Amino acid sequence: MYRKSKWKCGYNLVVLGHGNNEKSVPQILIRDLKFEKKSLAKLMFSPDQENHPSKAPVKYGELIVLGYNGSLPNGDRGRRKSRFALFKRPKANGVKPSTVHIACTPQAAKAISNKDQHSISYTLSRAQTVVVEYTHDSNTDMFQIGRSTESPIDFVVTDTVPGSQSNSDTQSVQSTISRFACRIICERNPPFTARIYAAGFDSSKNIFLGEKAAKWKTSDGQMDGLTTNGVLVMHPRNGFTEDSKPGVWREISVCGNVFSLRETRSAQQRGKMVDNETNQLQDGSLIDLCGATLLWRTAEGLSRTPTVKHLEALRQEINAARPQCPVGFNTLAFPSMKRKDVVDEKQPWVYLNCGHVHGYHNWGNKEERDGKDRECPMCRSVGPYVPLWLGCEAGFYVDAGPPTHAFSPCGHVCSEKTTAYWSQIPLPHGTHTFHAACPFCAHQLAGEQGYIRLIFQGPLD
C-alpha cells in the first residue's frame, strides 16, 4: 500500500507499507529530485561555460576512459589520466595525404620516410613498399592516442583492469593496446567535426604497416590497411541521451574507412566495407583500442551533462533524507567524492537480489555460506551483499536524474536511465567476445538486468 510521506526534503519519497499495518517500517524509493530552476541551471552548466564563455578556448570534446570513477587509481598525472580534453591548438598541426610513391624498394621507402614530414608505409613484400606522404593541413588539428609515452602521443592509455585499485595493477598485464593506437583529426572551423583513424604517427612521423598487417589497394588506387588488433567504434542511436540505444560496432581503417568486424580481433581478412557510415565521431561514440575503451563526448553534449557540482548536490540531498539501516537503526551516508574508494562506517550496503539498503552488519552471515552471499533481514532473499559507491564520473551519465539504481555486482550508483543504458551496451572483451560492464569500474554486469533499484529505509522519527 502506498501513502505519501510527510518528510520535508529535496526528494519525492514514497513509503511502502505492509497492508494496513501502520507500525510497519517505512521504506523509501527515491523517485525524483527537485531543484530550484536557477540552481539546477547553474549546476548543469559545464565548467567551461561557468567561467568567461567568450574567452574560453574552443573545446572539440573529451575522451573518457571507461572503468575509472573520475580519476585513475593513483591520481591523474600529465598525459596519463582518465579524461582528456581536446582543445583548438594555437597553431594547426593536422596532416592530409599528398604524394604516393609506388613500388619502392625498402631502401627507397626508408629514404622517403626519413624526410621531415609525415608518411605511411605499406610493406607489400620484401621487395615492394608503397609510401604515402602526408602534408600539413592548416584547417585541422591532430591528436594521437596510444600506450607509448613518447612525445607524439597526446593521451597515454594503458589496459583497463576491472576494479583495479592502483596503477601497478594495470602495468603488470601484458598490454594489447598499440603504442600508437589511433589519431583524431578535428576541423578548426565550425562545426568542429572530429574524425578517427586507426594508427598514430611515431616519433619519426611515420606509420609502418608490415607484411603481416591487413592491407589492400582501394578501387581508386589508394592504399589502406588495418592495425594488428584494430580500432573499433560504436555510435549510439539517438545520440548520448536518455533515449539512446546501442549502435553496431565497426572497425576503422588507417585511412578512416568503415568496415564490419573481422572474425577475430587480429584476423588477416578484413570485414566488409560499410559505405553508408563514416568515421565521424558523435556525442557518445565509443572507441575500443583492445584493452581500453574510450567514450567521446562533444563540447555541446557535455554542456547538457551533469557536472561534479550537480552530482555533489545529489549526494548531499540523499544524505539529507537520513536513510537508516533497518538492523542497527544508524543513519547512513554516502562519503564525499574525495573518499570514493574508502569504505566509510556510515557507508550504505545493498543486497543485490532485492535492493534493500542497509549499513554494514553481520546479520545473515551463516557459516555454511562462502561469505559472499547473505540473507536480507527484510525479505529473506539470499544473494551478494556489497557497499554502494556513487558514480563520480559525470561524463558517463545520460541524464541528470537522482541516484536511484546501482550496477550489479559492483554497487556503483547513478540514475535509472544511466544504468539502463550501459547495461545494454556490449563492450569488447578480449579478442572476440563482448559483454556489458559498469562504466565506473569495468566489472562485467551480472543478474537479469545488470542493475537494481535501491530501496532505502527512512528515519523513524
pLDDT in tens, 248-272: 999 999 999 999 999 999 898 999 9
pLDDT of residue 45: 44
Asked if 224 and 368 sit in the same domain, the reply is: no
Same domain, 260 and 341: no
Measured distance between the N- and C-terminal CA atoms of the chain, rounded to whole angstroms: 20
User: Is position 210 within any domain?
Assistant: yes
Domain boundary among the residues 257, 275, 304 is at: 304
Domain boundary among 304, 339, 373: 304
Whether residue 317 sits in one domain with residue 276? no
The average confidence (pLDDT) of the chain is 84
Domain boundary residue, one of 282, 304, 326: 304
Enumerate residues 6+ apart whose C-beta is below 8 A from 439: 66, 67, 295, 391, 393, 396, 422
379 and 238, same structural domain?
no
Dihedral sign computed on CA atoms, order 195, 199, 204, 210: negative
One domain, residues 391 and 414: yes
147 and 213, same domain (yes or no) = yes
Residues 300 and 313 in one domain: no
Pairwise pLDDT comparison (341 vs 305), residue with the higher score:
305
- Asked if 234 and 326 sit in the same domain, the reply is no
In a domain, 43, yes or no: no
Distance of CA 61 to the CA centre of its chain: 14
pLDDT tens digits for range 67-109: 999 888 777 777 888 999 999 999 999 999 998 887 667 667 7
Residue 15 lies in a domain: no
Q: What is the pLDDT of residues 216-244, one digit of tens each?
A: 988 888 899 999 999 999 999 999 998 99
Which range of residues forms the domain containing residue 383?
308-453
Which cell goes with 376?
Answer: 536480507
Residues 366 and 408 in one domain: yes
Rounded CA-CA distance 445/437 in Å is 5
Does residue 48 fall inside a structural domain? no
Are 439 and 339 in a shared domain? yes
Tell me how far apart the alpha carbons of residues 29 and 65 are, in angstroms, rounded to a whole number: 31
Q: Is residue 392 part of a domain?
A: yes
Do 313 and 298 have their domain in common?
Answer: no
Q: Count of domains in the chain?
A: 2
Residue keyed to cell 605511411: 120
Distance CA 184, CA 142 (A): 6
pLDDT digits (tens, 9 = 90+) for 166-186: 545 445 568 899 999 999 999
* pLDDT per position as a tens digit, 422-444: 999 999 987 778 999 999 999 99
| Mean pLDDT value across residues 329-333 | 90
Residue 21 lies in a domain: no
224 shares a domain with 192: yes
Any domain includes 38: no
Of the ranges 15-24, 145-154, 181-190, which one carries the lowest mean pLDDT score? 15-24
Please report, for the domain that includes residue 346, its CATH number: 3.30.40
Confidence of residue 206 (pLDDT cuts 50, 70, 90): very high
- Asked, for residue 9, whether it belongs to a domain, the answer is no
Task: Note the pLDDT tens digit of each residue in 102-129.
Answer: 766 766 777 676 778 899 999 888 778 8
CA angle 257, 258, 264 (to 5 degrees): 120
